[in-house]
Amino acid sequence: MDSTSKQTTSQRKRSSFVSSNSNRTVSSLASDSADGGLNEFNQPVSASPRKSSVKSQKPSLSPNKNSPLRSNTTHNKPTYSAISSPNKAPWRPPGRYQIPDILKSSENTLRPVNASIKTAARSKKSHLAATLSSTNKIKHSPGPDSAKKPAQPQAPIATTNTPQKRPWVPVGRSPQVLPLPALPAAKSNRPHALFDSKMRKILPKLKIMDLNPREQYVGLTKIGSGANGAVVRASKRSNSKYRVAIKRCFIDDTDTPHLAYILREIRIMGCISHANLVGLKEASLWGDYVWLAMDLMSCSVFGLLCNISTGLPEPLAVCVLRECLQGLIHLHNKGYMHRDVKCENLLLSSTGEVKLGDFGLATPISRNNTARLGTAKWMSPEVIREIPYDEKVDVWSTAITLIEIMDRVPPLYYLESTDDIFAEILWGPAPHFTFASPSNNIRDIASWMLDQDARRRPGAKDVLQEINRQINDGYLECASQADLAYFVQHVFDKAD
C-alpha cells in the first residue's frame, strides 16, 4: 500500500509539474514570437514587447496576422525570403580590403593569356553553370506539363596549345631598323669586271694570265714594299731559271685614282719595251689583287746609297746618268713623260743594268698637263706653279737625281715642310752639289739641266748627246756596266 501510494503521489506531482511548465512555455513562446526574442537556436532574448524596435525586429518563422500579441508598430515588410541560406555571409560595409586593385587588373588584361588559364576558366564556368541548374531544380520543381528533356552532350574542351596573341601596340614608328635593300646583281661573274676589262684592253693577250699565280710561281720571298703593296721575288714552277719580281696591288673599285695609277703602270710596262725601262712579263687578276710579274732587279740606287757612307764616284754616276737618259728618251719618243724620276725609281741589276721603273705618275705628253704631281724635292718650277708643262720636267728631275747620286742626299734635304721646299725652289738659289766634288764639266751639265726657264732647258736627247761628246773628247770619264755590277756586288757582300 505504501509503495502504491508513493508511486501515485509521485505520478501526480510529475503531471502537475509538466502541465504547469507546458503552460508557461507556450505563453513565453507566444510572447517571444510577437517580440522577436527567439533566434534560430530557440534562445529567449526579451519578454517585454515595449523594448522591441524596428531595427531589432526579425521576421518570424510562421507569422500570424490574427495574433493578438502582434506589435502595433508600423514598419516595412521585408522583401527577402524568410528562409535564408546558412552559408551566406552577412552583409558588411565595403572595407579597405575589398577595394579593387585597378592597376593589377589592367596588367592582367594586357598580359597575354595562356592556354592553360583559358582552359581552367572554361571548366570553372561550366562547373558553375551546372551548380546553378541543380539549385534551380531543387528550389523550383517543374510543373506536371513540363516534359523531361535529355541532357545535351557537352563538347570536349580543347586542350591544344593555341598561339599566344601579341598585346596591342599603338600605331607609330616601328622600333625595328629595316634592313638595307640588296645590292644589285653583278653583270659579270668575274670580280672587278670593269678593271679586268680595261686591263685586257691595254695589254697584249700573251701577257695576261688567267691562272692562279700562287700555283704558277714558287719560292716567293719579300724583297721590298711600295705604295701599292709588297714586292716579292719568285721563280716559275715550270722553269726555275725564269725569275721575276712580283708586285701585288689591291683592287678597290671605289678608289678611282688608285686604279688609274695601276692602269698607267700596266700600260707603259706592258706596251713599251726598252733595255733601260722595267718591263712587264705578265699580269693576272686573281681575287682582289692584281699580280704584276716584272723584271727582277738586285736593288735600287737609293738602296745602294743607304749601304755606303759617301756618294758614288763620278764615273759610276755618269754611267747611271747615261742609262737613265736613254730610257727617258725612249719613253718621250713613245709620247709619255715620267714625272717621278729619283734614285728610288732607278733599279740596278746584278749585271750592271740600269732601269727606270714605277710608272704610276706617267702621263701622255700630248695632254694639257698642269697637275702638281711628283715628289716635292724633285719637282720643277713649272710643276710647282701648276702651269702647262711638257717632258722637260723629267730633265730637271734627272739633274736633281745626279746631285743625289754623288752627294748621297738630294738638295734641300734639310727641309721637311712642303711650302718651304717649294719656296726655295722658286725663289732660292739654284740647286747645287753640297758634299761631292765633281768636275766642272759635270757642274756645267747639271746647271744646264736646272734652268728655271723650261724653254731654255735642254731635252733628254740633247743632254745625252753632250755627255757622249765629252766622253768621246776625253773630258768625262764613264764606267762600264761591268764596273757598276762589281761595285754593287762588293757593297752588298760587305754589308752581309
| Binding positions | 247
Amino acid residing at 492: F
What are the DSSP E strand ranges found in 135-252?
A: 217-225, 230-236, 243-250
Active site residue 340: yes
> Cβ(421)–Cβ(377) under 8 Å?
yes
Please state, in angstroms and rounded to a whole number, the distance separating the CA atoms of residues 67 and 103: 58
Amino acid residing at 463: V
| 354 phi/psi in degrees, rounded to 5 | -120, 125
What the block records as the C-alpha cell of 193 is 669586271
Cα dihedral across residues 48, 50, 56, 61: positive or negative: positive
> Cβ(355)–Cβ(299) under 8 Å?
no
> Cβ(337)–Cβ(331) under 8 Å?
yes
**H or E stretch at 404:** helix 392-407
> Cβ(122)–Cβ(157) under 8 Å?
yes
Residues 6+ apart with CB under 8 A from 248: 229, 230, 232, 289, 290, 291, 292
Which residue among the candidates 340, 394, 407, 451 is catalytic per the annotation? Answer: 340
Amino acid residing at 272: I
Annotated binding site for ATP: 247
Please state, in angstroms and rounded to a whole number, the distance separating the CA atoms of residues 446 and 463: 10
Residues 6+ apart with CB under 8 A from 287: 191
Q: Helix 460-473 to helix 314-333 angle, to the nearest 10 degrees?
A: 140
Active-site residue list: 340
